[in-house]
């Protein structure tokens, strides 16, 4: 036990270990806050803080006036990790269908052609901020911004990250045109053609596309829908193959919304040291967490091996095309890559966003967004509860989607084409692996309000699953 850690973290680690080891079973109630205070000699606020963090990881949930219950289902969500189910590294070759789905923005909305609803107030304020920054520019259009991006915005981002345990500053942040570009710059910097990159499976399809583009080989690491990449499996892989980099989403990973426990994160950093590995942290969903926001993986990194990548796409607007990368030991090489590939980012957009964050509008917007996302997730889960064919469904505490598994005979790719004929776009499970796995799964987004059209589209999809 590391006694230099704050008390709430020691307690959090202890309960988490108990849950992951199966000492606390799914559905069991944890001792009351008062009992935990007595048992651990801690103040109520310390216990509450630890429980809130465990809830953010999706390991427990609070039920009104009943206490905290374990939600982690070991048998249900832990992927058995055997070497024989791991394929050797291979080049990535994504199909035409894959590209087709990607060009339809990979279905974060079931009905992407029917834009409904009003613009949230927070976005109206963002527009104003950006408009003001544009008007202030006057004759400045003849200059490029500095390659790392606007210092004021970088400072604001560093402050946001500091709340999540990172101790870096603005000089270690480089603005990009989105998280996809951040990961691209990271891979381009640390890897050379033919290198092997470990990724989550199921994991983010955008990374597979990048690996294909950069002629890198992929090795897919079994990934739990609850606790993320299986670190034991990764360790076996690293002992067998020469892996250059590993891309992970420690917080509310797509597609299932998993959160990596602290012990797994620490082990991942240790493995990176042992095997001279670069870790690319895709943190894009972290700020959506309504029960709490996990610390960054980068906060555990003391030797600059973690390249932190993120953006405002999932929490503010995809259209801003505003992301960042904190490149650790590779930061200056990444900056150079950005300079040669893009020269600079749009200055007035950055300045507008900086003001938006500084004035507190972003924090207020995030609070409302999280509340809304939780409600939309609950509505989706309620709907799915009526689908007898859904074998298992994740119930994340953040992110924008749930992952639904149907019986093995169902192929969601077939449903994709039929749904498309009716104007509905779905995200079939195959998309989340380069090895034709997860064909019986579907990622369903709760990013948008369940208005009549979306609810009808959802009902229709479930009908198609039952009667393809």
Ligand X SMILES: Cc1ncc(COP(=O)(O)O)c(C=O)c1O
Q: Does 187 bind ligand X (CB under 6 A)?
A: no
Question: What CA–CA distance (Å, rounded) separates 320 from 312?
Answer: 8
180 is a contact residue toward ligand X (CB under 6 A) = yes
- 193 with 44: CB under 8 angstroms? no
When the beta carbons of 235 and 254 are compared against ligand X, the nearer one is 254
Q: Which of 109, 282, 354, 405 binds ligand X (CB under 6 A)?
A: 282
Query: Closest approach of Cβ 180 to ligand X, in Å?
Result: 3
Instruction: Work out how close the CB of 108 gets to ligand X at its nearest, in angstroms, rounded to a whole number.
Output: 7
Contact call for residue 227 and ligand X (CB under 6 A): no
Task: Pick the binder of ligand X from 24, 166, 184, 204 (CB under 6 A).
Answer: 204
Which part of the chain contacts ligand X (CB under 6 A), choosing from 178-186, 257-265, 414-422, 431-439? 178-186
CA–CA gap between residue 204 and residue 254 (Å, rounded) = 6
3-class DSSP assignment, residue 31: coil
Give the CA dihedral 10, 14, 17, 18, nearest 10 degrees.
-170
Which one of 149, 178, 202, 352 is in contact with ligand X (CB under 6 A)? 178
CB of 160 to ligand X, least distance (A): 15
- Enumerate residues 6+ apart whose C-beta is below 8 A from 303: 273, 329
- Note whether 323 binds ligand X by CB under 6 A: yes
Q: Contacts with ligand X: how many residues (CB under 6 A)?
A: 13
**Nearest distance from residue 318's CB to ligand X, in Å?**
5
Q: Give the binding range for ligand X (CB under 6 A) out of 12-20, 172-180, 333-341, 360-368.
A: 172-180
356 in Cβ contact with 152 (< 8 Å): no
Q: Residue 151 region, left (φ>0) first, then alpha (ψ -120 to 50), else beta?
A: alpha
Q: Between vectors from CA 259 to CA 258 and to CA 260, what angle results, nearest 5°? A: 120
CB of 399: closest distance to ligand X in angstroms?
A: 9
- Nearer residue to ligand X within complex by CB, 203 or 222: 203
| 280 DSSP β-pair partners | 247, 307
251 in Cβ contact with 285 (< 8 Å): yes
Cβ distance to ligand X smaller for residue 55 or 200:
200
Instruction: State both tokens at 343.
Output: 């020269």
Question: Residues near 366 by Cβ (< 8 Å), separated by ≥ 6?
Answer: 287, 315
Question: Rounded distance, CA 186 to CA 190, Å?
Answer: 6
- Taking the alpha carbons of 119, 125, 128, 129 in that order, is the dihedral positive or negative? negative
Report the nearest approach of ligand X to the CB of residue 252 (Å). 9
Give the nearer residue to ligand X in terms of CB position, either 180 or 235.
Answer: 180
- The total of other beta-carbon atoms located within 10 Å of residue 441's CB is 25
Residue closest to ligand X when measured from CB atoms:
178
Using CB under 6 A, which of the segments 13-21, 67-75, 77-85, 173-181 binds ligand X? 173-181
Q: Which of 50, 196, 247, 284 binds ligand X (CB under 6 A)?
A: 284
To ligand X, the closest distance from the beta carbon of 223 in angstroms equals: 13
Q: Which residue, among 418, 371, 409, has the nearest Cα to 389 in the 3D structure?
A: 409
Q: Cα separation of 109 and 10, whole Å?
A: 40
Q: Which of 149, 168, 206, 228 binds ligand X (CB under 6 A)?
A: 206
Site residues for ligand X, window 301-320 (CB under 6 A)?
311, 313, 318
* Minimum separation from the CB atom of position 401 to ligand X (A): 9
Please identify which residue in 156, 226, 249, 397 interacts with ligand X, judged by CB under 6 A. 249
* 433 lies in the site for ligand X, by CB under 6 A: no
Q: Does 289 bind ligand X (CB under 6 A)?
A: no
**What contacts 424, CB < 8 A, 6 or more positions away?**
110, 111, 457, 460, 461
**Cα radius of gyration rounded to whole Å, the chain:** 22
Told to check if 450 binds ligand X by CB under 6 A, we report no
CA pair distance 102, 207, nearest whole angstrom: 12
Q: Which one, of 148, 152, 151, lies nearest residue 175 by Cα?
A: 148
Closest distance of CB 205 from ligand X, Å: 8
258 binds ligand X (CB under 6 A): no
Query: Which span (17-25, 110-118, 175-183, 375-383) binds ligand X, by CB under 6 A?
Result: 175-183
Q: What residues line the site for ligand X (CB under 6 A)?
A: 178-180, 204, 206, 249, 254, 282, 284, 311, 313, 318, 323
């Amino acid at each position: 036990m590391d006694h230099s850690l704050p008390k709430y973290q020691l307690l959090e680690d202890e309960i988490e270990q108990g849950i992951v080891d199966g000492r606390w079973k799914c559905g069991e109630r944890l001792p009351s806050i008062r009992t935990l205070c007595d048992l651990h000699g801690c103040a109520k606020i310390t216990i509450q803080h630890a429980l809130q963090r465990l809830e953010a990881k999706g390991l427990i949930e609070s039920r009104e006036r009943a206490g905290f219950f374990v939600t982690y289902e070991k048998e249900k969500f832990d992927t058995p990790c055997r070497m024989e189910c791991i394929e050797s590294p291979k080049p990535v070759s994504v199909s035409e269908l894959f590209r087709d789905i990607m060009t339809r923005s990979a279905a974060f909305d079931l009905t992407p052609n029917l834009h409904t609803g009003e613009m949230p107030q927070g976005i109206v304020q963002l527009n104003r901020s950006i408009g003001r920054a544009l008007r202030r520019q006057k004759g400045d259009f003849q200059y490029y911004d500095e390659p790392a991006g606007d210092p004021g915005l970088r400072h604001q981002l560093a402050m946001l990250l500091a709340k999540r345990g990172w101790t870096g500053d603005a000089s270690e942040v480089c603005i990009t045109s989105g998280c996809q570009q951040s990961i691209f710059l990271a891979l381009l910097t640390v890897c050379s053609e033919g290198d092997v990159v470990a990724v989550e499976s199921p994991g983010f399809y955008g990374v597979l596309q990048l690996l294909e583009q950069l002629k890198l080989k992929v090795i897919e690491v079994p990934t739990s829908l609850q606790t993320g990449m299986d670190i034991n499996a990764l360790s076996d892989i690293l002992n067998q193959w020469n892996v250059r980099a590993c891309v992970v989403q420690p917080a509310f990973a797509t597609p299932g919304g998993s959160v990596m426990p602290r012990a797994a994160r620490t082990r991942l950093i240790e493995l990176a040291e042992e095997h001279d590995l670069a870790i690319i942290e895709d943190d894009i969903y972290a700020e959506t967490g309504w029960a709490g926001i996990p610390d960054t993986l980068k906060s555990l990194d003391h030797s600059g091996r973690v390249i932190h990548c993120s953006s405002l796409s999932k929490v503010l607007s995809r259209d801003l095309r505003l992301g960042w990368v904190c490149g650790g030991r590779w930061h200056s090489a990444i900056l150079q890559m950005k300079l040669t590939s893009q020269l600079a980012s749009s200055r007035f957009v950055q300045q507008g966003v900086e003001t938006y964050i500084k004035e507190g509008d972003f924090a207020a917007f995030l609070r409302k967004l999280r509340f809304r996302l939780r409600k939309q997730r609950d509505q989706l889960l309620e709907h799915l509860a009526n689908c007898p064919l859904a074998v298992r469904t994740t119930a994340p505490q953040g992110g924008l989607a749930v992952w639904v598994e149907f019986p093995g005979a169902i192929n969601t790719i077939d449903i994709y084409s039929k749904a498309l004929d009716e104007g509905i776009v779905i995200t079939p499970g195959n998309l989340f692996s380069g090895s034709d796995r997860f064909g019986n799964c579907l990622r369903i987004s709760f990013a948008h309000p369940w208005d009549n059209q979306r609810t009808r589209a959802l009902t229709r999809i479930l009908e198609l699953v039952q009667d393809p």
